[in-house]
Amino acid sequence: EPEVTQTPSHQVTQMGQEVILRCVPISNHLYFYWYRQILGQKVEFLVSFYNNEISEKSEIFDDQFSVERPDGSNFTLKIRSTKLEDSAMYFCASTSLGGETQYFGPGTRLLVL
């Protein structure tokens, strides 16, 4: 069964550094998403992406964040200058046209020191 993959599984970085989280969505899917889950809290929507542009973003997704689909398979989340409060699990998801069921990746655990 096709699945969403994410790399790396864990990343540790210093405050102020840039990080790029990578995702490979399911190949025929058209909508792509990033969600965040701070330890012990609920999963929060960050951004949705369709047709090479952001279709919706939350208030969390400020100027420090950006997303890109650099080629036909990858979908990335960049955090320009990480803060301590960016420490969280980041989930990528994708869905086909119609957007009924989102398929989530295994997550990247980001720790900012």
Partner 1 sequence: AQSVTQPDIHITVSEGASLELRCNYSYGATPYLFWYVQSPGQGLQLLLKYFSGDTLVQGIKGFEAEFKRSQSSFNLRKPSVHWSDAAEYFCAVGGIGGGFKTIFGAGTRLFVKA
Query: For binding to partner 1 (CB under 8 A), which residues are involved?
Result: 31, 33, 35, 41-45, 48-50, 55-56, 91, 93, 95, 99-107, 109
Pairing of strands 31-37, 19-24: unpaired
Using CA atoms, how far apart are residues 36 and 38, in angstroms rounded to an integer? Answer: 7
Smallest distance from partner 1 to CB 47, Å: 8
Instruction: Give the nearer residue to partner 1 in terms of CB position, either 31 or 65.
Output: 31
Instruction: Give the nearer residue to partner 1 in terms of CB position, either 92 or 112.
Output: 92
Rounded to the nearest angstrom, the gap between the alpha carbon of residue 29 and the centroid of all alpha carbons in its chain is: 15
Smallest distance from partner 1 to CB 100, Å: 6
Instruction: Give the nearer residue to partner 1 in terms of CB position, either 22 or 104.
Output: 104
Rounded to the nearest angstrom, the gap between the alpha carbon of residue 96 and the centroid of all alpha carbons in its chain is: 17
